Amino acid sequence: EAAGSSREVFYPLWNVTDNTADSWYSFQSTSNAANSNKMMCSGVAPVGFSSISAMYFWWGCSDSGSPTFTWAWSIAAGGQAGSTHSMSQTSLTSADGVGYTGNDLTRSDLMNETGSSDLEDIIAANDIFGIRIHSTHSTFPTLGIGVTITWNF
């Protein structure tokens, strides 16, 4: 990539049943809504990136209401333990309690959710990462679409 350029990458979310291990490396593809389940994606940070300028969770729902979410992530380089750097389940404040109209698609900002030591502050080139988002409202049929990350070079 040329210096001063950026690339937005889409990472599809997969629904994970509650009896599946909560590891960043164990996810399975389904088309089910994530009612009180976890959605996961994973990827590798590109070589040569200098920063992340945007990171969004894209989702929708067939009902209207106020959803609630938590999220977690882990980062590791090759040869390291999968959770070398991690954030445990934390409220996704950009999405929690947002008034939502059924069948609308929306995005929720994942940047600076904890204020310091966020994924975007720690990740390095070639790091493997996993993101887990949990719809904590058992009757709100959330459809996780994916996560986008804009990598700056």
The reported pLDDT for the residue numbered 56 is 95
HEC readout, the chain: CCCCCEEEEEEECEEECCCCCCCCCCCCCCCCCCCCCEEEEEEECCCCCCEEEEEEEEEEECCCECCCEEEEEEEECCCCCCCCEEEEEEECCCCCCCCECCCCEEEEECCCCCCCCCHHHHCCCCCEEEEEEEECCCCCCEEEEEEEEEEEC
The reported pLDDT for the residue numbered 139 is 66
The reported pLDDT for the residue numbered 70 is 87
The reported pLDDT for the residue numbered 77 is 92
The reported pLDDT for the residue numbered 94 is 79
Q: Kindly list the averaged pLDDT for each block of 10 residues, start to end, along the chain of length 153.
A: 90 71 42 62 95 93 76 91 86 73 82 86 95 78 87 96
Place of tokens 């975007």: 120
Angle at 122 between CA 119 and CA 124, to 5 degrees: 110
Number of other residues whose CB lies within 10 A of the CB of residue 88: 10
pTM for the model: 0.83
Report yes or no: 40 and 137 within 8 Å, Cβ to Cβ: no
Q: Structure tokens of 110? A: 């994942």
The reported pLDDT for the residue numbered 97 is 59
